[in-house]
Amino acid sequence: MKSIKGVMWGLVLVALGIIMGGNALGWFNIDLFFDGWWTLFIIIPCAIGIITEKGERIGNLAGLIIGVLLLLACQGVIAFEMLWQIVLPVAIILIGVAMICKNLFNHKFDEQIEKLNKKILNDGEIGAVFSGQNINLSNEEFKGKTVKAIFGGLQLDLRNAKIKEDVVINATATFGGIDIFLPDDVVVKVKSNSVFGGVSNKKDNKAKEKAPTVYVNGTAVFGGIEIK
């Protein structure tokens, strides 16, 4: 079954194709390059992210609000001078809400991540900068990693790794993508911090209650992280 995100992006492309085809055939005349059309590159990804991504949605919500305000300014509904007066208070409010939610609901999660991070060895960081990396840790004992993709792609394959206790994966994707493949005999818990990006957990928790837990601390900035 295709993911909801894939279906929604498919609908966007179908709608775009219908508009372009209808314009060419003279069925209707819809201007794709209206004032502020470029804001759709902010609005659409953030809207899809709010609907499809699990975990925190503050980043996508902030992006959606900013995108809509920019569109309204380009359309002349609000003045650009007023726009900047609105954006700052909205940003401050959203940051405050995010901090409240994190402290009320995620403090145990954060404490566990902090505890597990102390166990990561000095060689526990992997990075892909303007490049691609495929890391396969088959038959190796896994004790946690920090992985970063900056203008690049990184794949971390742990399907055949030995995970004997709770571990943490700190994943940061900035203008890049990270794919994390996990075995079936672990529990997966995800924390997402995303701005114009998302962390997608496609892994079904089929493990037993006492199985080791893999904590994924994901940050996506104009990027994406997928757990499979």
Q: Which of 225, 177, 216, 197 is nearest to 59 (CA)?
A: 197
CB 73 within 8 A of CB 36: yes
Tell me the average confidence (pLDDT) per consecutive run of 10 residues in the chain, 228 residues long. 61 81 81 82 80 65 83 86 76 70 63 75 73 86 88 90 89 89 88 73 73 87 84
Task: Please report, for the chain, the start and end positions of each structural domain, with discontinuous segments joined by +.
Answer: 33-105, 107-227
Q: Give the pTM.
A: 0.59
What gap in Å lies between CA 169 and CA 29, rounded to an integer? Answer: 50
Tell me, what's the pLDDT at 86? 78
What gap in Å lies between CA 19 and CA 32, rounded to an integer? Answer: 8
Angle between helices 80-105 and 107-117 (to 10 degrees): 80
Q: Which of 165, 157, 169 is nearest to 199 (CA)?
A: 169
What gap in Å lies between CA 228 and CA 118, rounded to an integer? Answer: 25
Tell me, what's the pLDDT at 181? 92
What gap in Å lies between CA 66 and CA 60, rounded to an integer? Answer: 10
